[in-house]
A = this chain, B = another copy of it.
C-alpha cells in the first residue's frame, strides 16, 4: 500500500532513526517507491546518506569510548577541595541517570557522587568506604544540577574518618549521607587489611 508523501516521510525519519544502517534501496522497497523518491525525501528532510550516518555514529561512540574510563574515576566534577577537610562537586543529571518512565534520578548515582567525593576528600593513597548511612531527601529529576558538599567531621575510635556529605539542587537538600572511611595511612593500628600497593 502506497502512503501519502507526508506519511512516508514521517515513517522514513522514524525508520532511519531506529536503524541508521538502512540503504536507500532497502527503503525504496519498504515503501514501494523508487530509489529516487527516497533520495528526494532524504533531501527534503536533510537526512544524510548512509555512509555519513554511519560515520557519525562511529565518531560519536569513538569519542565516548575514549572519555568513558578515565572519567569514571570520579563521579561528578570536583570544583573545590581542601584535603582532609571539605570538598564540593557538581553532577548534572542526564538521560542516562534516570528511570526512563519517571525521569527521576536513580539513587545510586547520587550515592556515587557523594561516595566519590568522600573518597576524594580523604588525603591518602587509599580510601575506601567502610560504612554509610544515607538518606534520599527528595527526588532529583533529569536536567537538575546536584551540588555535593563533603565535610570531614571526625574519627571513630577504630581510626576511621567520618565524612558527612550533603547534596543540593539549588538551595534544596536532596541527599544526605554519613560515610565512615577506611584509610591506609593511619599512623599504625592495622585492623583487617591485607596489602595495598601499586
Shortest distance between the CB of A42 and any CB in chain B (Å): 18
A132 at interface by CB-CB < 8 Å: yes
A173 at interface by CB-CB < 8 Å: no
Q: Is the CB of A134 within 8 A of B131?
A: yes
Number of chain A residues close to chain B: CB under 8 A: 51
A128 at interface by CB-CB < 8 Å: yes
Which residues does chain B contribute within 8 Å of A193, judged by CB atoms?
139
Copies in the complex: 2
Please report A residues at the B interface, Cβ cutoff 8 Å.
Answer: 20-21, 51, 54-55, 57-62, 64-65, 68-69, 72-73, 75, 95-96, 99-102, 104, 106-108, 111-112, 115-116, 119, 125-126, 128-136, 138-139, 192-193, 196-198
Apart from A20-B62, A55-B58, A108-B112, what are 6 other A-B pairs with CB-CB below 8 Å?
A54-B54, A61-B65, A75-B108, A107-B115, A107-B132, A132-B132
Which residues does chain B contribute within 8 Å of A134, judged by CB atoms?
131-134
Which residues does chain B contribute within 8 Å of A138, judged by CB atoms?
192
Which residues does chain B contribute within 8 Å of A131, judged by CB atoms?
134-136
Which residues does chain B contribute within 8 Å of A68, judged by CB atoms?
96
Docked CA distance A131–B55 (Å): 45
Which residues does chain B contribute within 8 Å of A119, judged by CB atoms?
106-107
Main SS at interface, chain A: mixed
Q: Is the CB of B111 within 8 A of A128?
A: no
Contact among B64, B73, B108 for A111, CB-based, below 8 A: B108
Shortest distance between the CB of A92 and any CB in chain B (Å): 16
Docked CA distance A102–B101 (Å): 37
Docked CA distance A135–B130 (Å): 6
Shortest distance between the CB of A84 and any CB in chain B (Å): 19
Docked CA distance A71–B135 (Å): 25
What are 11 inter-chain pairs, A to B, with CB distance below 8 A?
A20-B58, A21-B58, A57-B62, A104-B196, A106-B115, A106-B116, A107-B119, A107-B128, A108-B115, A128-B136, A132-B134
